[in-house]
Amino acid sequence: MTTLELRHVNKHFGGLHVSRDITMGIEQGELTAIIGPNGAGKTTLFNEITGYITPDNGSILFDGVEITGAEPENLVKMGIVRAFQVASLFIDETVYDNIYLAALAFHGKNGNIFTNRQTYKDVAEHCHFILGRLGLSGKENLKAFELSHGDQKVLDIAIALTMKPKLLLLDEPTAGMSPDERVKMTRLIRAIHEEFQLTTVFVEHDMDMVFGIADIIRVLVHGELIAEGNAEEIQKNPAVIEAYLGHEVL
């Protein structure tokens, strides 16, 4: 079954054509990598899929339902959830409270005005599960701004996972991480993908990671989807080598 489908999606920023007639179908349970040079339009594509911006034309379907132009909050409720290239956190709050806020939203407690927010057992359990699963347990009382860059990216993903996504989009999850952290993050993504039965799309520059874990790789250059296939196919694709991979990788 196709979870996410894009049909002839176009987006311009002034004279810049950032999504060029993009058509693709992402199957349920697929772990997809999107690669491409800086400025290729990868983040823009995520912004279109998650409702942050609307494409100029074309359509986007989720589980067969047209979602083009829908608001982010409605897409989150449908199960389309993302983490950001620059971790998007509640920076003055503790790690726990960052996840707690997401869990409150997930459990629909956000409108409760006069109840003490500590009264919800299900919400607290949800938080502790996420904290434990993502290895943040010892750090729950640190403020988000006190975390290392790598842990901030993990927390961003933790917030996303708290929303119980069906489709999870991760924008450069290992950007700025140490080699150690990269390895951990790569394993984590593969593990949660299976454990939570997700359809996962991630943007990544680290080719070891891309070729190591992605089922399908899609290559975006100048807003155009120039290739898609498994690791072997992509590594052999002349257009990809020409436009992006060059010699250093192969």
Partner 1 sequence: MNNKLVTMAPWLAYFLIFGSLVFAGGDHTIHIASQVIILGLFAIAFNVLFGTTGLLSFGQAIFYGLGAYITGMMAKSFGGDFFVWALLIAPVAAITLSVLLGALSLRLSDVYFTMLTLAFAQLVWGICVKWSSFTGGDDGIQAIPKPELLAGGLNYYIFSFIIVTVCIYLLWRLDRSPFGAVLKGIRQNPTRISFIGLNVFRHKLLAYMISSGFTAVAGGLYAGIDKSIHPDMFVWTMSGSIILMTILGGMRSFFGPLIGVAIFILLEDVIGRSTQYWSFVIGAIMITVVLLFPKGVVGISRHFAGLFAKKGGQLDNP
We find the least distance from the C-beta atom of residue 188 to ligand ADP, in angstroms, to be 22
Number of Cβ atoms within 10 Å of the Cβ of 195: 10
Q: Which DSSP letter does residue 15 get?
A: T
We find the least distance from the C-beta atom of residue 156 to partner 1, in angstroms, to be 9
CA distance 65 to 49: 13
Choice from 3, 19, 32, 43 touching Mg ion (CB under 5 A) = 43
We find the least distance from the C-beta atom of residue 43 to Mg ion, in angstroms, to be 3
Which of Mg ion, ligand ADP, partner 1, none is residue 94 near (CB under 5 to 8 Å by kind)? partner 1
CA distance 107 to 135: 23
| DSSP-derived secondary structure for 76-142 | HHHTEEEE-SS----TTSBHHHHHHHHHHHHTT-TT--SS-GGG-HHHHHHHHHHHHHTT-GGGTTS
Under the binding rule (CB under 5 A), the answer on residue 186 touching Mg ion is no
**Cβ neighbours for 92, distance < 8 A, ≥ 6 positions apart:** 143, 144, 145
CA distance 26 to 48: 15
Of residues 130 and 240, the one with the C-beta less far from ligand ADP: 240
Token pair for residue 64? 């067969």
We find the least distance from the C-beta atom of residue 142 to partner 1, in angstroms, to be 11
We find the least distance from the C-beta atom of residue 171 to ligand ADP, in angstroms, to be 7
Contact 203, 42 (CB under 8 A): yes
Token pair for residue 145? 């701004």
Which of ligand ADP, partner 1, Mg ion, none is residue 40 near (CB under 5 to 8 Å by kind)? ligand ADP
Interface residues with partner 1 (CB under 8 A) are: 50, 52, 71-74, 76-77, 81-82, 88-94, 96-97, 100-102, 104-106, 109-118, 120, 124, 127, 140-141, 159-160, 162-163
Q: Report 71-100 residues binding Mg ion (CB under 5 A).
A: 85
Burial of 118 (0-12, 13-18, 19+ CB in 10 A): exposed
Which of Mg ion, ligand ADP, partner 1, none is residue 76 near (CB under 5 to 8 Å by kind)? partner 1
Of residues 40 and 80, the one with the C-beta less far from ligand ADP: 40
User: Per CB under 5 A, which region of 27-35, 37-45, 68-76, 224-232 contacts Mg ion?
Assistant: 37-45
We find the least distance from the C-beta atom of residue 105 to Mg ion, in angstroms, to be 25
Interface residues with ligand ADP (CB under 6 A) are: 13, 16, 18, 36, 38-44
Q: Which of 41, 48, 52, 56 is nearest to 4 (CA)?
A: 48
Say which amino acid occupies 115. Answer: T
Of residues 15 and 138, the one with the C-beta less far from partner 1: 138
Of residues 104 and 243, the one with the C-beta less far from Mg ion: 243
